Structure 1
């Protein structure tokens, strides 16, 4: 049985584009601890606001100022921001005096990086958590799984997404995507050095999101290499628990390194390269299945929102 409204935390979503609208539908269909109190946009003609109105969700087209003017604003505890890095900076400043818990789906990186399968429990009390990027949500769990078993002096990820799934927000934040993802590969994934690349694939029909993770590791012991493969498989299952379309494309590949680039990894030895090929298919709640890059962000946001809401509700008991 779903909890009653009295056992839910009120939430708002800022951003009525594809990501915000998909997140709205996920909250309405799947959430156990969140009661959606508002969808916020700046375009009164957006499909997201129109759809919210049909679903009975309160809306405003006046941005964060409109949210703060809404009747139930004081009761809202959790705010998801699905706008852009620059917009989140302004939104966070505006909301700072009101003690809301912010979940940032942009690459603004104002708060700690959070990847649910890796480090969510350590940041449940942070006022503003950052979900890195779609590429980060897809690949950092794998880097973390490898680094839990063996040192990873260098990790590189390539996120390939359909051009049709890259909206204006994604395209405007390409630099932030690469910088934020690379930083989180190191700070959350545990790599000594991280690099991120995004590819917009114009293929028609559109291809689903595919991600490649390349890690140099110090793992001369065959038993350690076996544990790396097992750790990756376990982590993929952990992510798939909240992103059902997340899966390994092929078995984990571990090959010897005979001529590794010392300029990239410094003094840390590297004996093998680990290659992990992933794909992410969207759940199709609002976005098409090929938009797995957006679906993994909204799925991660819902998982984070659920845990934060549960924490807030526990504190009230």
Structure 2
């Protein structure tokens, strides 16, 4: 294990997400240090870039990673591959005592959304970063549910088609299932639904997210204030995260099918739909600024690793 001043991390996956994460660790983190990157394509641009940046590499995947000399000092491994591959990676790494931060929708470990439950699973051997749509929208659902019960939360994540790589496209079903589950488990909604749209527009548009929450009634000002506070918390690590307009409140008509989402006995004449419209512009560390969907994932994963590092440092001092 690492004996240096900063815990060492490694990345599995040399695609867009893994490469952006590597550059973030190198450029902006003063709490963790990258030791190695693993991929499965010897000719990948990500591995070539890592070598140019003096990061140790292997093209033999997780099995090659654990054989590297640099792996001895690694404490945290980011998995930026696919949901299917993650199960194998976790099976290899868990017995070796490494913490795994999962950027795939595999959901092997508990969900983590930094501004909502970022301190809840600091000791878990495996944590899941949900999805890009989840990282962008679950904080808003949580902000609303902190003020009033959310009986139904629905999110629509629209991302540039050009920013959706093979991993994203292969995991569309897992994206919707994992995001919907986390809307409930982390966001606090009784029922959740997620939709993703790959927008083919040229030039590519930045990530846009819509959040709808059905609530029995609410204090509009208190909900709006809670949403604004949460946006500020996300902006601490994703500066390009912002509201597109004011939080919208609309009373639900008596014949609206949405009312079927309310539990029996709820006063349906007072039901309210809260709508929040967001956009996420990426920091362009490696990916274009329109790829806010990938930027928010890598930023959330790095934030989580840094909190784990801080927690371990505090615990070490206490001993």
The 1-side partners of 2:88 and 2:4 are apart by: 31
Q: CA deviation at 1:266?
A: 3.2
Partner in structure 2 of residue 240 of structure 1? 235
Partner in structure 1 of residue 261 of structure 2? 264
Matched, 1:295 2:292: no
The 2-side partners of 1:181 and 1:97 are apart by: 28
Q: CA deviation at 1:269?
A: 4.7
SS at match of 1:275: strand
The 2-side partners of 1:197 and 1:33 are apart by: 35
Partner in structure 2 of residue 255 of structure 1? 250
Structure 2: unaligned runs, 5 residues or longer: none
Partner in structure 2 of residue 180 of structure 1? 178
Q: Is the 8 A contact 1:14 1:40 kept in 2?
A: yes
Residue-by-residue CA offset, 1:223-254 (whole Å, 9 max, x unaligned)? x2110000001100100110011000111011
Partner in structure 1 of residue 88 of structure 2? 90
TM-aligned CA distance change 1:263 to 1:218, over 3 Å: closer
Which range is displaced more, 262-271 or 176-185?
262-271
The 1-side partners of 2:307 and 2:4 are apart by: 17
Question: CA RMSD, aligned part only?
Answer: 1.1
Partner in structure 2 of residue 204 of structure 1? 202
Partner in structure 2 of residue 53 of structure 1? 51
Q: CA deviation at 1:74?
A: 2.1
SS at match of 1:59: strand
Among candidates 208, 211, 219, match of residue 217 of structure 2 = 219
Q: CA deviation at 1:35?
A: 1.2
Q: Is the 8 A contact 1:105 1:301 kept in 2?
A: yes
Q: Please give the TM-score of this superposition, normalised by the length of structure 2.
A: 0.95
Q: Please give the TM-score of this superposition, normalised by the length of structure 1.
A: 0.96
Q: Is the 8 A contact 1:78 1:309 kept in 2?
A: no
Residue-by-residue CA offset, 1:99-119 (whole Å, 9 max, x unaligned)? 101100000000000000100
Q: CA deviation at 1:258?
A: 1.6
Partner in structure 2 of residue 171 of structure 1? 169
Q: Is the 8 A contact 2:56 2:70 kept in 1?
A: no
